[in-house]
Amino acid sequence: MTEAAAQPHALPAEAPEIAPERDLLSKFDGLIAERQKLLDSGVTDPFAIVMEQVKSPTEAVIRGKDTILLGTYNYMGMTFDPDVIAAGKEALEKFGSGTNGSRMLNGTFHDHMEVEQALREFYGTTGAIVFSTGYMANLGIISTLAGKGEYVILDADSHASIYDGCQQGNAEIVRFRHNSVEDLDKRLGRLPKEPAKLVVLEGVYSMMGDIAPLKEMVAVAKKHGAMVLVDEAHSMGFFGPNGRGVYEAQGLEGQVDFVVGTFSKSVGTVGGFVVSNHPKFEAVRLACRPYIFTASLPPSVVATAATSIRKLMTAHDKRERLWSNARVLHGGLKAMGFKLGTENPDSAVVAVILEDQEQAVMMWQALLDGGLYVNMARPPATPAGIFLLRCSICAEHSPAQLETVLGMFRAAGQAVGAIS
């Protein structure tokens, strides 16, 4: 061993301070100041909520207080389903707490195969690939499908994971105006005919809760010879006869090339996936970096997902209760005079649009103090610089809970002047 290697690289006792222009974290000064200003106004940090206890899909304890949850994506309320929990416990005992590796090497266990089979049955497809999160599913599939010289055409209001999937890859990226069939048609028409193209759409846009005119958009994409990917993260389980999503509800079975989904919303655990009928779909596994270079999901997670997905296939009662709850909440808030993200209860997301950050934060705080949690959403996550309180509905919200929720919204809305 040489002298140098034996001696740890000695640092001066007091390291000289890094000059601000060389401090990599200086770029966050604006963010730090903005957050501090918000906290100095006396509100709870909306982005640092801790669930101290979770009692059911719709109730938690936050800051020692029983709180109704109206800001989770637990649409179908599967997180406390006894069969789902039993499947997780069994897998935990039989296969251990984790896989310690990539799907490509040592990280594929019995239940990874089982959950992919459950997905094939749920969507009626020949192929299904599971990723470690929904974010990674978009990151992986978009960057892998569209290569150099090819095109990805995406809606301007796409989720961050779709934008990041575009950035991760080498394709040319083209945006069209949100939900505009005409704009999509025009842009596809201006692109060179030869290169392969992928049009990326979402069934439900989760900030405002609006749904896409997929029927018209898929027709336009096909007219221009493009393949279509639809992210159905916010529709699984309750759109379409089999709960497959907005594309199924709009009669597009067999016309969408790739469907992306997640286990973290209706399924009630964590993970992401892509399903497809393309005969070469399996090849994606061999080329997709976010699939290969990460650890696979723990056995208990995939076991709970498989059980939950199979139960969602026949969860007709839950589906009906969810839609009924959506109508009650949307109708109630609309009647009070709140400005909402959609004219009708189109999805399980109801977005209450407020004037500015101050009004949104004040109202959010009033609701939390009263025992109701909703999401506060702000730019850049929201479109067009909007501040909103986003409610996501669960099939397990009871009529009494919804009545309480509406009462709290009325009181808080009047207090901040959002309604009269």
Q: Does residue number 166 form part of the binding site for another protein (CB under 8 A)? A: yes
Per CB under 8 A, the segment of 172-180, 235-243, 289-297, 391-399 that binds another protein is: 172-180
195 binds another protein (CB under 8 A): no
Nearest to 90 by CA among 306, 271, 263, 304: 304
What is the rounded CA–CA span in Å between residue 158 and residue 145? 18
CB closer to another protein out of 138 and 325: 138
Query: In whole angstroms, what is the distance from residue 100 CA to residue 96 CA?
Result: 10
Contacts of 284 (CB under 8 A, 6+ apart): 129, 140, 141, 144, 145, 274, 291
Q: Scanning residues 368 to 397, which ones bind another protein (CB under 8 A)?
A: 379-380, 383-385
- Residue from 49, 181, 191, 270 in contact with another protein (CB under 8 A): 191
Applying CB under 8 A, which of residues 186, 223, 316, 327 lies at the interface with another protein? Answer: 186
- Judged by CB under 8 A, the stretch of 120-128, 174-182, 237-245, 314-322 that binds another protein is 174-182
Mark the segment that binds another protein (CB under 8 A) among 175-183, 206-214, 363-371, 397-405.
Answer: 175-183
30 binds another protein (CB under 8 A): no
Helix (H) or strand (E) holding 390: strand 387-392
- Residue 223 makes contact with another protein by CB under 8 A: no
- 3-class DSSP assignment, residue 108: coil
Helix, coil or strand: residue 85: helix
**111 versus 202: smaller Cβ distance to another protein:** 202
What is the smallest separation between the CB atom of 380 and another protein, expressed in angstroms?
7
Q: Decide whether 166 or 367 has the Cβ nearer to another protein.
A: 166
Residue 8 or 385 having the CB closest to another protein: 385
Rule CB under 8 A: say whether 309 interacts with another protein.
no
Which of these segments, 87-95, 180-188, 236-244, 396-404, binds another protein (CB under 8 A)? Answer: 180-188
CB of 188 to another protein, least distance (A): 10
CA distance 210 to 105: 41
Q: Which is nearer to another protein, 371 or 383 (CB)?
A: 383
Smallest separation, CB 174 to another protein (Å): 6
Minimal distance, residue 224 CB to another protein, in Å: 13
Which of 56, 86, 82 is closest to 68 using CA atoms?
Answer: 56
278 binds another protein, rule: CB under 8 A: no
Choose the stretch contacting another protein; rule: CB under 8 A; options: 170-178, 284-292, 347-355, 361-369: 170-178
Residue 292 lies near another protein (rule: CB under 8 A): no
Query: How many residues in the chain?
Result: 420
CA–CA gap between residue 284 and residue 244 (Å, rounded): 22
Given candidates 190, 241, 293, 343, which one binds another protein under the rule CB under 8 A? Answer: 190
Instruction: Give the residue carrying structure tokens 């206890």.
Output: 53
Q: How far is the CB of 101 from another protein (least distance, A)?
A: 35
**Binding of another protein by 334 (CB under 8 A):** no
> Cα–Cα distance between 120 and 129 in angstroms, integer?
9
Backbone phi, psi, residue 124, to 5°: 65, 40
Closer to another protein by CB, 43 or 156: give it: 156
Q: Is position 174 an interface residue for another protein (rule: CB under 8 A)?
A: yes
CA 302 to chain centre: 18
The sign of the dihedral angle between the CA atoms of 392, 393, 398, 400 is positive
DSSP 115-140: HHHHHHHHHT-SEEEEESSHHHHHHH
Tokens for 411, please give them.
Answer: 């009181």
Helix (H/G/I), strand (E/B), else coil: 310: helix
Structure-derived torsion over alpha carbons of residues 367, 371, 375, 378, reported in degrees to the nearest 10:
30
Site for another protein (CB under 8 A): which residue of 59, 150, 183, 346?
183
Q: Contact between 187 and another protein (CB under 8 A)?
A: yes
Residues 274, 232: Cα–Cα separation, whole Å: 10
Instruction: Write a three-state SS string for 154-187.
Output: EECCCCHHHHHHHHHCCCEEEEECCCCHHHHHHH
Residue 196 binds another protein (CB under 8 A): no
Contact with another protein (CB under 8 A) among 90, 164, 172, 358: 172
* Smallest distance, another protein to C-beta of residue 130, A: 29
Binding site for another protein (CB under 8 A): 156, 166, 172-175, 177, 183, 186-187, 190-191, 379-380, 383-385
